[in-house]
């Protein structure tokens, strides 16, 4: 019988979706009890939530006595403990794993922050009642173009549908989550044809599609 974990989640959060997708990819071995923390309603400020997430951020995972924050730590823990050995997303072979980790770190350092900044500044600041920084948007847009250019030229060497190797990995979860995030601001991927074709292909991956159903609904309701 699969083990059950609690996931503190808010579907518009890309960090939370990294964990949702990792859990879905591991669903042969683990089921997820989702607890929504609506950040726009300030639910992260509830005292009870600080007992789960010391930073009052989503995602947070509770697995028995273990309380864990930080999406990448949670995703790696879930994959290490629960991944489906028939369809592994986080290779156990050290060299293969290192290449997946390399891709994840490229996405984290060269894509995630700038994509997040553009979307946060353009879409979320008005909803949180905070000021928008056009300067931050310009800087992030320049950096994101550099990051996407690197990804376009450096990855997809063995398959147009995988950053690394030929199968779906944790690196693909991390990248597609941020590509979906950019759809909130209708970001144009056409200057990056390999990335664009990859994204179209990954949209049909069952784990990615299911992870993003609540995201698409939530964003539509916020428009
Ligand atoms: N480094 C963290 C970032 C998590 C994060 O920034 N979560 C945001 C939502 S995208 C959050 O919960 N913000 C609540 C707040 O700051 O009040 C991770 O990777 O999990």
pLDDT score at 18: 98
| Cα 90 to ligand 1 centroid, rounded to whole Å | 23
Token pair belonging to 114: 């700038």
Dist. CA 83–CA 143, nearest whole Å: 34
d(C-alpha 71, C-alpha 200), whole Å: 24
Cα 38 to ligand 1 centre (Å) = 12
Q: Is 18 in the pocket of ligand 1 (CB under 6 A)?
A: no
**Distance, CA of 196 to CA of 199 (rounded, Å):** 5
CA angle 200, 110, 127 (to 5 degrees): 75
**69 DSSP β-pair partners:** 60
What is the per-residue pLDDT for 142? Answer: 98
Atom 9 of ligand 1, nearest CA residue: 13
| Digit-coded pLDDT (tens) for 157-210 | 999 999 999 999 999 999 999 999 999 999 999 999 999 999 999 999 999 999
3-state secondary structure of 160: coil
CA of 93 relative to ligand 1 center, distance in Å: 31
pLDDT tops 70 at residue 1: no
Q: Encode pLDDT of 16-54 as tens digits.
A: 999 999 999 999 999 999 999 999 999 999 999 999 999
**Residue 102 in contact with ligand 1 by CB distance below 6 A:** no
String of DSSP letters for 51-71: TT-TT--S-EEEETTEEEESH
Q: Using 50, 70 and 90 to split pLDDT, how confident is the model at 128?
A: confident
Mean local confidence (pLDDT), 204-221: 97
Separation of alpha carbons 155 and 136, rounded Å:
28
Whole-number Å distance, alpha carbon 95 to ligand 1 midpoint, is: 30
- Cβ neighbours, 10 Å, residue 140: 22
Q: Using CA atoms, how far apart are residues 205 and 223, in angstroms rounded to an integer?
A: 26
Provide the token pair at 204. 């049909």
**Using a 6 Å cutoff on CB, does residue 13 contact ligand 1?**
yes
């Amino acid at each position: 019988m699969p083990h059950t974990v609690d996931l503190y989640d808010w579907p518009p959060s890309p960090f939370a979706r990294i964990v949702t997708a990792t859990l879905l990819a591991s669903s042969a071995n683990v089921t997820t009890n989702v607890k929504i923390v609506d950040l726009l309603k300030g639910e992260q400020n509830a005292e009870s939530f600080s007992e789960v997430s010391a930073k009052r951020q989503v995602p947070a995972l509770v697995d028995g006595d273990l309380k864990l924050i930080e999406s990448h730590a949670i995703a790696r823990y879930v994959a290490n403990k629960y991944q489906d050995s028939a369809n592994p997303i986080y290779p156990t072979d050290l060299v293969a794993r290192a290449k997946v980790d390399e891709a994840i770190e490229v996405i984290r350092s060269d894509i995630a922050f700038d994509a997040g900044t553009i979307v946060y500044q353009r879409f979320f600041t008005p909803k949180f009642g905070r000021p928008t920084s056009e300067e931050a948007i310009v800087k992030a847009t320049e950096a994101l173009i550099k990051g996407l250019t690197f990804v376009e030229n450096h990855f997809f060497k063995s398959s147009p549908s995988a950053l690394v190797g030929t199968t779906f990995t944790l690196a693909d979860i991390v990248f597609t989550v941020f590509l979906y995030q950019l759809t909130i601001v209708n970001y144009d991927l056409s200057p990056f044809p390999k990335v664009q074709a990859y994204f179209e292909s990954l949209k049909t991956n069952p784990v990615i599609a299911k992870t993003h159903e609540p995201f698409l609904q939530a964003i539509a309701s916020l428009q």
